[in-house]
Amino acid sequence: DAGVIQSPRHEVTEMGQEVTLRCKPISGHDYLFWYRQTMMRGLELLIYFNNNVPIDDSGMPEDRFSAKMPNASFSTLKIQPSEPRDSAVYFCASSFWGGTGELFFGEGSRLTVL
Amino acid sequence: DQQVKQNSPSLSVQEGRISILNCDYTNSMFDYFLWYKKYPAEGPTFLISISSIKDKNEDGRFTVFLNKSAKHLSLHIVPSQPGDSAVYFCAASARLNFGNEKLTFGTGTRLTIIP
């Protein structure tokens, strides 16, 4: 299996622009998580899905952030409009119910908002 | 509020000695704990886990200890090797008793092994 695939790996954009991050989970996994890593807060959970349905979005910082999972093999995290304080590494992870509770992470998308 | 805390941002240990990384949690619903390792420009990878019914779990050079009364866990690496230099994240969930699969992570500890 190719593992969790995220794109783009790096994104540099200007304040006010729309940013879309993409994720393909491991086939057969029914949970998908979006995390954000910052120095101050470590790995913060933004939102997670079970069977394509959002379960907990309490970590989404503002209405500027939105996430979708239109099918079992694809999810997006959108920031519109982006701000410099959104600069961080965004990770997608997946897991399956009945497993060991381990999350499998992608390599992350590093976002820089100028 | 930070429900999982790693109070040491960094730790340096001589090669061959024991590395001890610490983690505290505040949420008494947490019943499953994991350690992840992260190299630069890579995603975190799972290292070892422990459920709340145990107080110790061992896997090769890695041992995790859980003290439920103190809400504290630690990761021991012995002997430490240069390849162990990475950021280590502690994580917790309430999956066993509450079916909650989401992991709450600490802020991480950067471990440097000195050759």
The model's pLDDT over A75-99, given as tens digits with 9 standing for 90+, comes to 999 999 999 999 999 999 999 877 7
Answer whether A33 sits within 8 Å of B103, measured CB to CB: yes
Residue A67 has pLDDT above 70, yes or no: yes
Q: Which helix (H) or strand (E) holds A95?
A: strand A88-95
From chain A, pick out residues whose CB is under 8 angstroms from the CB of B91.
43
Helix (H, G, I), strand (E, B) or coil at A85: helix
Q: Which residues contact B53 (CB under 8 A, 6 or more apart)?
A: none
Q: What pLDDT, on a 0 to 100 scale, did the predictor assign at position B92?
A: 94
The model's pLDDT over B60-108, given as tens digits with 9 standing for 90+, comes to 999 999 999 999 999 999 999 999 999 999 999 988 776 778 889 999 9
Average pLDDT over residues A1-28: 95
**A1 pLDDT tier (thresholds 50, 70, 90):** low
- What are the DSSP calls for B36-87, one per residue? EEE-TTS--EEEEEEETT-SEEEETTEEEEEETTTTEEEEEESS--GGG-EE
**What residue of B is the nearest CA neighbor of A59?**
B104
Q: Which among B42, B102, B108 has the least Cβ separation from residue A107?
A: B42
Answer whether A93 sits within 8 Å of B43, measured CB to CB: yes
Q: What pLDDT, on a 0 to 100 scale, did the predictor assign at position B112?
A: 98
Asked if residues B75 and B88 have their Cβ atoms less than 8 Å apart, the reply is yes
Asked if residues B8 and B87 have their Cβ atoms less than 8 Å apart, the reply is no
From chain A, pick out residues whose CB is under 8 angstroms from the CB of B49.
100-102
Distances (CA, A) of B106 to A37, A45, A74, B11, B82: 11, 11, 27, 15, 23
